[in-house]
Amino acid sequence: MARRAAPPHSGPSYYTPAQLSGRGAPVDESAFSRFLRVQIFAPDKLPGNVNIVVGVGMFLGGIAVVRRWGELLVPA
């Protein structure tokens, strides 16, 4: 099969590291800080992450309340 040429005005066939990092991120960014930026603090994912944090906090708070005042829940 013959190889086809790229369509006109399709851009270069190579990309610089700055173009690959996306969203104007610095090239020397670590994998952990990239994970935090893309998965944790991204505006489109922030509401879901806040819901997860609230749910885990309520769960741990409920455990703490029952451990602290659990005897009040049992009738004497």
Q: Is residue 66 part of a domain?
A: yes
| 40 contacts: CB under 8 Å, gap ≥ 6 | 49
Q: Is residue 56 part of a domain?
A: yes
pTM (global) more than 0.85: no
- State which residues form the domain around 49: 45-76
DSSP calls for 12-69: -S---HHHHH-TT--TT--HHHHHIIIIIS-TTTHHHHHHHHHHHHHHHHHHHHHHHH
Q: Is residue 37 part of a domain?
A: no
pLDDT tens-digit map of 7-63: 777 776 676 666 665 555 666 889 999 999 999 999 999 999 999 999 999 999 999
